[in-house]
Amino acid sequence: MTKNYGTLKHTVWLPYNFAVGPVFLRFYEGLKEGKILGNQCLKCKKTLVPARTFCPSCNVDMGDWREVSQEGNIVSWIVANEPFLGMPIDPPFIAALIRLDGTDCSFLHLVGGFDTDTLNKKIKKGTRVRAHWRTEKKGHLMDIQYFKPK
C-alpha cells in the first residue's frame, strides 16, 4: 500500500482573445444570414467549407466565395456519450462528417431532430441530411442547431 502524501490544488486560468480574421468573420456573418459559406481554390477548383484563407493542398489564396448547399450526405458519424471540454451541447449527441452537395471536403456538425430509437436505421454513410437553423442567429457555428435526416 502506497502512502498518501496528498496533492497541492492549483488552478491556471488563462482567458484568450483569438483574432477572427476576415475569412472566419465572413463565414460567421454568413451563418447569421442563414447561409453556409465556402470558397473555391483558384488553382485546384475545390470548394472548401468552412471557407479558408488559403488552399491547404495548393498553398494559393482562395478565390470565389459561394453559398454552398444546406443539404448533403453523411460520410461518417459518432455518438458522443460522455462530456468533454468545449462540447457545443451536453451529450449524448450525434456528430457527423457531412459532404455538402457541390463541396470537396466534409463539414463537421451535429445530427439531430429525429427519434433516436431509429438511430441504427437512420444514421449511416450516405444518409441525406439538411441544415436545421435556430430562430435567433448570432453569427456562431451553433446557429445551425443540427443537420436533420430527410
Partner 1 sequence: MGNAVAIIGSGQTKHGRRNDVTYPDLVREAVQAALENTGLTMDDVDGVVYGSMPSMMEGVAMTHFYFADALRTVGKPMMKTETCGTTGMSLAHTGYYWIASGLADVVMVVGSEKMYEGDSQATMSTVMEPYYLRSFLAGAPGIFAMQVHEWTARYNIPSEKARDAAAKISVDHHMDALDNPHAHIKVKLTMDDVRNSRVITYPFRLWDICPNSDGACAIILASAKKAKKMCKKPAWIKGIGFCGDEYWYGDSDKVSWKCAMEAVKQAYDMAGIKNPRKELDVAEVYNPFTFVELLHYECFGFCDPGEACDLALKGVFSRGGELPCDPSGGTLCTNPIGATALIRVAEAAMQVSGLAGDHQIPGANMAFAHGLGGLSEFNGIMILGSKL
CB atoms near residue 68 (< 10 Å): 22
CB of 150 vs partner 1, minimal distance in Å: 19
**Which triple of cell numbers denotes residue 124?**
449511416
Residue 15 or 136 having the CB closest to partner 1: 15
Q: Looking at 29, 56, 67, 138, which residue binds partner 1 (CB under 8 A)?
A: 56
Phi, psi angle pair for 99, to nearest 5°: -90, 100
Residue 8 or 136 having the CB closest to partner 1: 8
Work out whether 124 is an interface residue with partner 1 (CB under 8 A). yes
Q: Residue 53 in contact with residue 70, Cβ under 8 Å?
A: no
Cα gap 36→139, rounded to integer Å = 11
Q: How many chain residues are in contact with partner 1, going by CB under 8 A? A: 41
CB of 35 vs partner 1, minimal distance in Å: 16
List residues bridging with 57 in a β-sheet. none
CB of 82 vs partner 1, minimal distance in Å: 5
Residue 65 or 77 having the CB closest to partner 1: 77
**Amino acid identity for residue 39 in this structure:** N
Cα gap 41→55, rounded to integer Å = 6
Q: Looking at 24, 122, 128, 145, which residue binds partner 1 (CB under 8 A)?
A: 24
- Rg of the chain, C-alpha, whole Å: 19
Output the CA angle 26-27-33, nearest 5 degrees.
90
Of residues 62 through 121, those in contact with partner 1 by CB under 8 A are 75-82, 84-88, 95, 97, 105-110
Binding site for partner 1 (CB under 8 A): 2-5, 7, 10, 12, 16, 18, 20, 24, 48, 50, 52, 56-57, 75-82, 84-88, 95, 97, 105-110, 124-125, 141-142
